[in-house]
Copies of this chain bind each other. A is one copy, B any other.
Amino acid sequence: MPDSPQHADVFLAAFDRAETRELAPGDVLIAAGSPADHVFNILGGTLMLSRTGRDGRRQVLSFLFRDHFVGLTTTDRYYFTVEAVTAAKVACCSRVAFDAHLSRNPGAERAFLHMTFRVLEDMLDALYSLGQRTALERLAVFLLYLRHARRLAEGLPDSDRSLAEVALPMTREDIADFLGLQKETVSRSFAQLEERGLIQRAENHRITVRNLPGLRELAGVVDFASPRRLVRP
């Protein structure tokens, strides 16, 4: 399943002429436990996919950006929540129509499978982070991940100067729940990255990268472009 340009998300044609929905920050697109009858394609903004345990512990499983896809499950109810972090816009498609689209277009099915595999590989990266990396390393990886997300969403080259600015639309608590930490630890880790001269804190929701190679070294990741997950074994 090697990358090939023509794969470029042909399955998204399922969303041509689809209804769209505008979301305000905090709006819930998918509520855990509700029937899993729609799938969505994100047209803009940032969303957050999370799962909350009985006792209130929450794990943010993924942040979602432009061109990301959400909503498919192998069960008939959603087992996760998706909510808007920033104002956002999504295209909506019924699961039935989406299924039919895949069945009618073998190319779309293959493209969708390929996308699913990329997501799976991202989750394996995240597993490595949560299982093996320290708080500081996780935060470094996270910043590179956000940088990469914007690079993809805006189609910029890795060298683009503007990428030094990294927007953090989510709260410290959201970041903490994504990285398996507490919000205080996230705060302290930001402070430590700044002390080390790797980043500079601007406002609460924006930092600028001061030493990209240093950040990558700390993260143990060269880039977030494939095949990033080969950490030189």
| Chain A interface residues (CB < 8 Å from chain B) | 1-3, 32-33, 51-55, 57-59, 61, 72-77, 79-81, 95, 99, 102-103, 106, 109-110, 112-114, 116-121, 123-124, 126-128, 130-133, 177-180, 220, 226-227, 229-233
Contacts and interface: CB of A to CB of B under 8 A. Distances in A.
Contacts of A54: 220, 231-233
A163 to B, nearest CB: 23
B227 A59 contact: no
A54 B220 CA distance: 8
B1 A114 contact: no
A1 B72 contact: yes
Mostly helix, strand, loop or mixed at chain A's interface?
Answer: mixed
Number of this chain's copies in the assembly equals 2
A103 B119 CA distance: 21
Contact of A233 (B75, B81, B120, B220): B81
A3 B74 contact: yes
A73 B113 contact: no
A80 B230 CA distance: 8
A114 B74 CA distance: 7
B51 A128 contact: yes
Nearest to A49: B124
